Amino acid sequence: MLCAAYEGPPPDTVSFAMGAFDFYRDRHRTWEFDFEYKFFPNWIHSPIFEVRPVFGIMMTAQGAGYLSGGLDFDFVFDKHFVLAPGFSACFYWHGHGKNLGFPLEFRTGIEVGYQFDDYRRLGLHFYHLSNAGLGDRNPGEESLVFYYEIPVISGFPFFGSRN
> Residue ranges of the domains in the chain?
14-151
Q: Is the dihedral of CA 90, 56, 79, 113 positive or negative?
A: positive
- Quote the pLDDT of residue 27: 87
Q: Which of 79, 92, 155 is nearest to 121 (CA)?
A: 79
- Quote the pLDDT of residue 7: 54
Q: Which of 103, 125, 101, 95 is nearest to 113 (CA)?
A: 125
**What's the average pLDDT block by block, 10 residues per block, for the chain (163 residues)?**
51 97 92 96 78 97 98 94 98 97 98 96 98 95 98 64 46
- Quote the pLDDT of residue 2: 36
CATH of region 14-151, choose from 2.60.120.10, 1.10.760.10, 2.40.160.20, 3.30.300.30 = 2.40.160.20
